Amino acid sequence: MERIGLAPGTPIGGYTIVAPLGQGGMGAVYRAVDDGGGAVALKLLHPDVGADPVARARLTREAAALQRLRHPAVARVLDVEADSTEAFLVTELVPGRSLDVQVRTDGPLGPQALVDLAVGLHAALAAVHEAGVLHRDLKPSNVMMTTNGPVLIDFGLAQSAGDTQLTSTGLLVGTPGYLAPELLDGQEPGPTGDLWGWAAVLAYAATGHPPFGSGPVGTVLARSRAGEPDLSGLPPRTEAALRAALRPDPVARLQPAELIDALRATAQGEPDPADEMTHVVVDRDAATTTLAGAAGAAGAAANDGRTRVFVPPPPGAEPTEVVGPPAPPVPTVGAPELLDDRPDLIPGSAGPDEPGLPPVPSGSPSLDLDGPPGYQRPPATRRWGSVLALGVLVAAAGTQYPTITLAVALVGLVLMRAVGSGVEAFHGRRERLGVRGSDRVLAVVGAPWHLLLALLGLLPGVVIGSAVVVIALGFTWWLVGSGQWALTDAPAGAVPTGVGVAVVMGAVVLLGVLLIWFGPLGRLTRIGARRTLAVIAPGPLGALVVVVVALAASAVLVARMLAGEPIVWWPLEAPHLPLP
C-alpha cells in the first residue's frame, strides 16, 4: 500500500527519507539520500496518481527523455520507479533557495536580476523543449536560485510533447495563475503554455505577488483567462512587456526575445517610449486594432465601461479620442460562460467561496496547490582549491615531521567530522521541526555527543588507513633491507636520511590521510571540512588566503627537505636501517 507523509529514516526504493521539502496535488517531495549517502530530491506520487497506469506510463516516458538531458539550468533526473506500488521520481538536489522563498524573504528582484532570471529560465525551457518534453508546471517554487543562476526543478508534472494518447479527457494539472489560459479551453499542451508560465513567473519575481492574485481557484483562473494580471508598480516598459506576454491568445503574445529585450532596456536605463504616449480610447468591437509601441498593452484599463490604451500618435497628428462600446464584464467565479464549454476543466470541490464548481472525479489529480516550502539547509559548498592546497601541505609536512603530521591530521579529521555531524544535525532538526530559538543551545549542548560520534565514525577509516600504511612501510623496509632499493646512502644500522627517505615518508603520510578522507563513512568528514572552511575562510578571498598560506608553508618544508635537514621522528624513536 502506498505511503504518504513519510517520516525521516523511512526507506523507499533504495533511498532513505531525510526531511519533507514540499507537497502538492501530484505528490510530496522529500530530501533523501541514496545508498552512498548522496543527497537527492525524491518526489513520491500521490497514491491515486501512482495507481493510475496512464500516469505511470507517462512518467516512464518523461523520465527516459529527461535522463538524456544535460543542461546547467535543469535539474538532472537520476532515477524513476513507475512499476512498483509506490511510484516516484528522483532528481539531483539543487542547493539554494526557491524563487518563491527568495522573493518572500528579500522582496522583488531588481531590474538586472530580473533579466538574468528571464535569460536563464528561457534557456532551460529551450533545452527541455528540444528534448521533446513539456514542463507544464513552471511556477516560483519550481525555480531554484543558485550562485550559478536559476535552475528548473520538479518534472513530476511534465508531459512528452505530442503525447496526446496519454492525456485523459478533462484531466487538468497545473497551478492556478501559472497555468496557460489555452489549457482551460481544452487545447493540447505545447511550448507556448510553458512560455506563458515563464512570463507569469517573471511577473511574480518583478512584483513580489502572484500576477493573478490568490484566493478561490475559480477567481484566479478567471483573471488569467481574461488576461488581467496585477502589474502595478512596475516601470511602464516592463509592465507593458509582461502584460503583452501574458495575453490569453497565444498568437497575440509578445515573443520571448522581445520580452527579454524590454527587460534589458529597463535594466540599462534606456528612455521609455511610454513617456511620449497619447491616451486613446479604442473600440473593443473593432475587427483588428494595431497598437504601436511597447506601452500599448500596458495602458489597458477600464474606465466608464470603455477600454483605454496608450498608443503613440502618427507624426504631426493631434491626439484623438475614439469612444467605443462598454467592455464585456469579466466572468465571475462559477459563471456559466466560464464553465459551459468544458465543465470538467475546473477541478476542486464546490465550497462557500467557489459556488458551482463541479467536484473532481475520483482518482483524478487536482490542481497542484503547493504550500510554502519548509526550511532548507544551506549548501555545503565544495572547496577543491583549499582542500588540494591543504593536501600538499600534509605531504610536505610528512617529509619532515611524519609522526606529528599524522597526529595533527587525525585530530583535524575528528574535529571536522564532529562539525559535520553537529551542523547536519542542526539543519536536520530545523527541516523536521522548523526554526526554533533553542536550536543553537541544543547544538552547543550536543557538541560532546557529536565529538564521540566522530571518533567512532572515523574508526573504520583509521583501521584501513593504518593497515595500508603499515603494509607500505613494511614493504619499503624489506626492499631497503634486502638491498633491492637504494633509498639512502646511510650505512646499515644508522638512522635513514636523505631526500628519498623524506619523499617516501611524505607519500606514506598523505596516503594514510587520503584513506581516512575517502574511506568508509568519510562523506560526513568531507562535509564537515566544507562547513569549517566556510566559517574560518569564507568566500573567494578566504579560499585564496588558505591556498596561499598552505602553499607558502609547503614551500618552506620542501626547501628544508632539499637542504638535507634530518627528519624529526618525535615522539617516536628514530628507526635504524637493518643490519646485513
Active site amino acids: 137
Retrieve residue 53's grid coordinates. Answer: 497506469
The rounded distance, in Å, linking the Cα atoms of 453 and 447 is 10
Residue with cell 626492499: 479
Residue with cell 635513514: 496
Query: What DSSP character marks residue 481?
Result: H
- CA-based torsion, 121, 126, 131, 134: positive or negative: positive
Provide the β-strand partners of residue 45: 27
Minimal CA–CA distance to 532: which of 412, 419, 424, 428? 419
Taking the CA atoms of residue 439, residue 444, residue 449 and residue 454 in that order, the dihedral angle to the nearest 10 degrees is: 100
**Stated length of the chain:** 580
Residue 47, preceding peptide bond in cis (omega within 30° of 0): no
Query: What DSSP character marks residue 329?
Result: P
- CA-based torsion, 417, 423, 427, 433: positive or negative: positive
Contacts of range 468-473, beta carbons closer than 8 Å, 24 or more positions apart: 468/511, 468/512, 468/515, 469/508, 469/511, 469/512, 472/508, 472/511, 473/508
The rounded distance, in Å, linking the Cα atoms of 298 and 504 is 74
CA 79 vs CA 40, 50, 56, 90, 124: distances in Å:
10, 16, 14, 5, 20
CB of 567 closer than 8 Å to CB of 402: yes
H or E element, residue 22 = strand 15-24
The rounded distance, in Å, linking the Cα atoms of 211 and 110 is 17
Provide the β-strand partners of residue 40: 32, 92
Supply φ then ψ for residue 110, to 5 degrees: -75, 170
CB of 293 closer than 8 Å to CB of 275: no
Retrieve residue 214's grid coordinates. Answer: 490568490
Which burial class, exposed, middle or buried, applies to 352 when counting CB atoms under 10 A from its CB (0-12, 13-18, 19+)?
A: exposed
CA terminus-to-terminus distance, the chain: 74
The rounded distance, in Å, linking the Cα atoms of 431 and 531 is 18
Residue type, 224: S
Instruction: For strands 88-92 and 97-98, give the pairing.
Output: unpaired
Residue with cell 521609455: 272
The rounded distance, in Å, linking the Cα atoms of 40 and 144 is 14
Retrieve residue 55's grid coordinates. Answer: 500516469
Residue type, 576: H
Coil/strand/helix, residue 80: strand
Residue with cell 519550481: 142
CB of 425 closer than 8 Å to CB of 450: yes
Query: From its phi and psi, is residue 36 left (phi > 0), alpha (psi between -120 and 50) or beta?
Result: alpha
